[in-house]
Structure 1
Amino acid sequence: MFRTHRTDDQGETRTVQKLRARLAESHQLHDLTSDPLLHAVRLERFRVSVTRSMWFFLALGLGFTTTGVHEFLAGHLTPAAALWWGAWLVEPALAGILVTLLRWEAEMLSRGLAVDAAPVVWLKRLLLGATLVTNVWSSLRPPSGRVEYGVVFLHVVVPLVVFLIAEVMPVIQHRCNAARDRVMATAAPMPTIGATASSAPRPALKLPSHLQAVLGTKAAQVREQGRAITPADVQAAVNVPDAFAAQLADQLNAA
């Protein structure tokens, strides 16, 4: 005896209904995962993750080089000398300047501004060059008088790695931002936010619903202050390039 599948009023079996539901879900997932702004958000999160990792390893490298700088300045002294204690502050001070400079570079690059001015480049090279020289010198002239070639190798490689990390980080920022902007430039147009399609003077950016909600909340707060929405207000709510922020601000003000 053959077993038959149950059917609904339209003559579809349960298997067909399940496949139809899966197909509908697949279409919805494809529409969501292929949204350019979703890719832009993923790129931004990836940039933040890579940047944090680079900061972490940069801090580890600077922690190692601190011992070399101290050895160079006060390796022949004892803790009874004031310089022995003060020497521990030299490399953290230099590293603090470098970290502050790198943070400024990252912020400027995230806004699409170049940071290749000669004083900036030379300041980074001076800070990292001083770290390299002091570390190598202290390893070649240890207080014990015995040169350990493994220690010399580390005191050469680690400062060089720190130097290259400092040079690579702006490149990472720039390329990730360029990739994000390229993805956002492919965003399909949609009706103006807060207005009907017929009233839109020009195509608008396509924003996911959660970003529209965040932007709408920010727009309401600005309107309560009795002023027009600016690109800075838009960027305070959502992370978008300047051109897109200006367009969104015009759309919200028109709406």
Structure 2
Amino acid sequence: MSLTTPTPEPTPDDVARGLAEFERHLAEQVPALPAALPALPVESGGETKRVQRLRAEVAEAHLLADLQDDAAPLLLDTAKVRKRRKQAREAARLHELGQDPAMRAWQAARMRRLLVAAGMVSLTLALAWSTAGVQTFAADGAEAWSPSWVFAWLVEPFMSLALLVVVGARAYLGTRGQPIESPTLVRIEWLFLALTLGMNAWPYLPWSLPEGQTFSFSRLVLHILGPVVAVAIVTALPIILAAFTRLDHGADARSSNPLTGPEYRAKSTADSDPREHSDGPGIDAVTAHVRHLIAAGQLPPYPSAAAIRRAARCAMDTARAVRDALVKEAT
């Protein structure tokens, strides 16, 4: 028989203490939750930063919409527009300068000199091209470096020099407005050209070829090319120069020489145009009339004195004064 001590029954106080210990243990194991969530930052007026950003965006959109209707930025010239306007103004001034009689005369004289120089160079080269053909004809099979063979090279040069003397004289006098219309000189030119052409072509014609050599048309054309070009230059150059002498540059020619421009001199009452008397309209009235013609498109923006004189029917001195006044206003 064993002796045991009976376990006493827990009292209500013991149960309460045990529950309190259990709750304290659980509280130590699990971290405590925050009492409340953090509040969003609130600025003055009760608006958040997000609301303030959206409000600023809406206000900016309203301002942009109001400014977008203003066309002032579209009226400003960009750098590209200013560059184009400058180029257009320069082109207009160059075009106006090109209509001036003095400028047109200078351009014609320069082109005439260029054409004459090119024609003479071409003629010289064409005659030099035919030198070899003429030498073959003149040597007539002579041994190389023999006296006949050497002197054969001089045939074409002295004929070419004689031809260039005639052509050069006609070309020079043609540029001076005094073309030579002499049948004798024309016959001399054609005589030299016919001799050059015949001597170049003769050794290569079918009946002049040695036995065993076949005729070649291309070789014949190649050797007569120089004389043909010389004939073309000699024929065309006087015609071109005569056309230059008949050019009208827009000036009032008062001399028999078409290349001489009008000479300005003070007019007397006896030889002046009746519409150019001193009792005509004053400079201010003529200037106003010329402005009206410019606005109507009947005159260029910067008309010359001759154009003003023809349009306003005034004296040349008045036209020059009006022209200077318009230029001074533009500057």
Larger of the two Rg values belongs to structure: 2
Alpha-carbon RMSD across the aligned residues, in angstroms, is 3.5
Q: Does 1:160 align with 2:222?
A: no
- What is the rounded CA distance, in whole Å, between the counterparts of 1:46 and 1:97 in structure 2? 26
Matches within 5 A, 1:83-102: 83-102=148-167
TM-score for the superposition, normalised by structure 1:
0.62
- Contact kept, 8 Å, 1:76 with 1:143, in 2: the verdict is no
Uncovered stretches (5+) of structure 2, i.e. residues with no partner: 1-63, 254-260, 273-331
Uncovered stretches (5+) of structure 1, i.e. residues with no partner: 7-12, 194-198, 204-255
- Contact kept, 8 Å, 1:75 with 1:143, in 2: the verdict is no
Cα pair distance change 1:191/1:110, threshold 3 Å: closer
Cα pair distance change 1:111/1:184, threshold 3 Å: farther
- 3-state secondary structure, aligned to 2:218: helix
Cα pair distance change 1:43/1:85, threshold 3 Å: same
Question: Which residue matches 2:191?
Answer: 126
> CA offsets, 1:210-251, max 9 Å, x none?
xxxxxxxxxxxxxxxxxxxxxxxxxxxxxxxxxxxxxxxxxx
Greater relative CO (CA pairs within 8 A, separation 6+): 1
More deviation in 148-157 or 168-177? 148-157
- Contact kept, 8 Å, 1:68 with 1:139, in 2: the verdict is no
- What is the rounded CA distance, in whole Å, between the counterparts of 1:132 and 1:76 in structure 2? 19
- What is the rounded CA distance, in whole Å, between the counterparts of 2:139 and 2:100 in structure 1? 59
Deviation at 1:149, TM superposition (A): 2.3
TM-score for the superposition, normalised by structure 2:
0.49
Matches within 5 A, 1:203-218: none
Matches within 5 A, 1:67-78: 67-78=132-143
Please identify which structure carries the higher helix content. 1
Structure 1 counterpart of 2:112, from 33, 47, 57: 47
Deviation at 1:156, TM superposition (A): 3.6
Question: Which residue matches 2:237?
Answer: 169
- Contact kept, 8 Å, 2:101 with 2:250, in 1: the verdict is yes
Q: Which runs of 4+ in 1 moved over 6 A?
A: 19-24
- What is the rounded CA distance, in whole Å, between the counterparts of 2:169 and 2:129 in structure 1? 24
Could you tell me which amino acid in structure 2 is paired with residue 115 of structure 1?
Answer: I
Cα pair distance change 1:76/1:41, threshold 3 Å: same
- What is the rounded CA distance, in whole Å, between the counterparts of 1:47 and 1:84 in structure 2? 41
Could you tell me which amino acid in structure 2 is paired with residue 57 of structure 1?
Answer: S
